A and B are shown apart, each in its own frame.
Chain A
Amino acid sequence: MATIKLDNIKKSFGKTDVIHGVDIDIEDGEFIVIVGPSGCGKSTLLRMVAGLETVTSGEILIDGVQVNGVEPMDRDIAMVFQNYALYPHMSVEENMAYGLKIAKTPKAEITERVAEAARMLQLEPYLKRKPRELSGGQRQRVAMGRAIVRKPKVFLFDEPLSNLDAKLRVQMRLEIKELQSRLGITALYVTHDQVEAMTLADRMVVMNAGEADQIGAPLEVYSNPQTEFVAGFIGSPATNFLDASTIPNAPASAARIGIRPEHITLAPAGQGRLSGEVIFTEALGAETLVHLRLSGGTETFTIRQDGALPLPAPGDAVAVDWEDDAMMAFSEGGRRV
């Protein structure tokens, strides 16, 4: 259990700047998810917290102690890697016991803690097997087990679920969340999957090209994105963006307006704020996605409506309408205004 503070962290690989100054304050026991598109620097940030990557400038503090120069083994952290990184020549049991053995934990305690973790993760039948004799989901559990037996101050996860199938991913997501809150260990979790981020996070950090665009509770980030990037990245289907000039009575200072698909309603042709033509529809059962092309524009515009509402046909001329406060206004530079 620990607090973590990142203070203006920067990272360059040679001449390429990858992280441009990130500040995050993580409270004891908090579950923080770092989310962002591929290549934005999530893993790099996590690896700096782990001590696997040097910090170019700025400070990392764990429990108030600066750890920039501290080796990974002295940080009291545990990490779950995307490819699990299990020790291929050791059994499941030995994999989990490895860290404890190195810490010279008494034998009896090692056995007890490994048994406890194995029970928690339903790994008991596999303790004697080698990693290559396990399925992907079981390997993932072993990697989790290896992290939890050590009772570290901090858990670090680097896309631990991305190699699993959709169903297992949902199941493991719940298990990770449940485990973390039961153990109360501060966790830092990296993913590019926004659903994972929304469901796991106490607070999430949305990263964009080496910057933390927004830090906040998932629903707060969703309903009140601070940048155009965040508005576009969080939420599926993605937010619709329009030039403010094309929209009647848009806020004066805005360059672009974002409106979430679920905040838009279809109106009969001739009414509403803007008119357009239906291109195609996707009926998903509980909800329907209607894709439009607005008159005078070329981009598509997506509406998400209740599955019970009548379905327009492709080619229909329709109008769209929304409430005033559904409009998220962004400046030329992409900041919220």
Chain B
Amino acid sequence: MEKRVTFKGWLLPMCLLMPQIIITAVFFFYPAGQAIYQSLFIPDPFGLSMQWVGLGNFEYLLGDSYYRASFVTTAVFSILVTVTSMGFALYLAVLADRLIKGSGIYRTLLIWPYAVAPAVAGVLWLFMFNTRVGVVSWYLGLLGYDWNHVLNEAEAMGLVVVASSWGRVSYNFLFFLAGLQAIPKSVIEAAAIDGARFWTRFRTIVFPLLSPTTFFLLVVNIVYAFFETFGVIHTITSGGPQQATTILVYKVFSDGFVSQDLGSSAAQSVILLVIVGALTIVQFKFIERRVHY
């Protein structure tokens, strides 16, 4: 049995919960409500009046080829960020797990990037790849490769993917390492005695036993790529060149605050709200079921 603290009456529990409830209400429920409300109107250019359009904003969005392109961009971007950051993190975690000495130092160093704010990370990478003064682009130039993410769409996408994945590697690394260390050593040894070499062991024992961690990280990283990479994209490419790195959340910003199309921007927020809701449900469903081997 879990021990539960019980309170008599309502006052104390309400007081204790109030701060969280207020924060959620002010910063989440109110803006979300506003977004849903505004998505049903088109305001005039001066913001003085609003015209009811029902689902018109949504209809318009679905017919908008730029918006559909942004969906594809988002999908490509999140898959790349998730695969890159998780793959690299898993590789590092496997190496760190094999370490006997000095693993503490590696762990600490590998965790640092996570502490860097996305916008700052964006600026760091931007400097390194700056077409005129960046170190990396300079070396690439020496190799005869003319790096220019300002003009080249694929290079721009590559750069935001790398900059967004970098800090995530730390986060994923921590979870993968914890997951690896939770696998009983004797199970791995039993597999070795059964004749499995490193790669076979990884494929047939370690990776399956790691699947709860992997699944958890998959959801968390997709959510990250969808919503939290705004700072990176804003500092590095501002969504360009053309629309090449305009992911959905960036389009909400650029349509709303740059182009001042508030109705459409609000409708896009509502669509994002639905997506994040769906992802959260997937995640909770999974956590309920916990380990499924």
Asked if B218 is at the interface of the complex by the 8 Å CB criterion, the answer is: no
Q: Which residues of chain B from 25 to 71 have any CB-CB distance to chain A below 8 Å in the complex?
A: none
- The majority secondary structure among interface residues of chain A is loop
* B102 interface contact, C-beta 8 A: no
Given A81-B186, A83-B186, A85-B186, are A102 and B192 also a contact pair (CB < 8 Å)? no
Q: Are B184 and A85 in contact (CB under 8 A)?
A: yes
Residue of B nearest to A80 (CB): B190
B residues near A71, Cβ cutoff 8 Å: 192, 197
What's the count of A-B pairs with C-beta under 8 Å?
60
- Indicate whether A88 sits within 8 Å of B293 (C-beta atoms), given known contacts A81-B186, A83-B184: yes
Set A86, A87, A88, A102: member contacting B195, Cβ < 8 A: A102
| Cross-chain contact B193 with A78 (CB below 8 angstroms) | yes
B96 within 8 A of A: no
Contact residues, A65-98 vs B (CB, 8 A): 71-73, 77-79, 81, 83, 85-89, 98
Count, chain B residues at interface, CB 8 A: 18
Q: Does A103 contact B (CB under 8 A)?
A: yes
- The reply on B219 being an interface residue by CB < 8 A is no
CB of A146 closer than 8 Å to a CB of B: yes
Instruction: Note all chain B residues with C-beta closer than 8 A to A98.
Output: 191, 194, 196, 204
- Report the Cα distance A99→B200, complex, angstroms: 11
Asked if A77 contacts B195 (CB within 8 A), the reply is no
B196 touches A87 (CB 8 A): no
Q: Are B196 and A50 in contact (CB under 8 A)?
A: no
- With a cutoff of 8 Å between Cβ atoms, the chain B residues found around residue A203 in the complex are none
B246-283 vs A, Cβ < 8 Å mask (1 yes, 0 no) = 00000000000000000000000000000000000000
Q: How far is the CA of A77 from the CA of B195 in the complex (A)?
A: 9
Interface flag for B209 (CB, 8 Å) = yes
Minimal beta-carbon separation of B118 from chain A (angstroms): 36
Partner of A72, one of B192, B200, B204, B205: B192
Q: Which residues of A contact B193 (CB under 8 A)?
A: 50-52, 72-73, 77-79
B interface, CB within 8 angstroms of A: 184, 186-187, 189-197, 200, 204-205, 208-209, 293
**Chain A contacts to B: CB under 8 angstroms:** 50-52, 71-73, 77-79, 81, 83, 85-89, 98-99, 102-103, 130, 146, 150
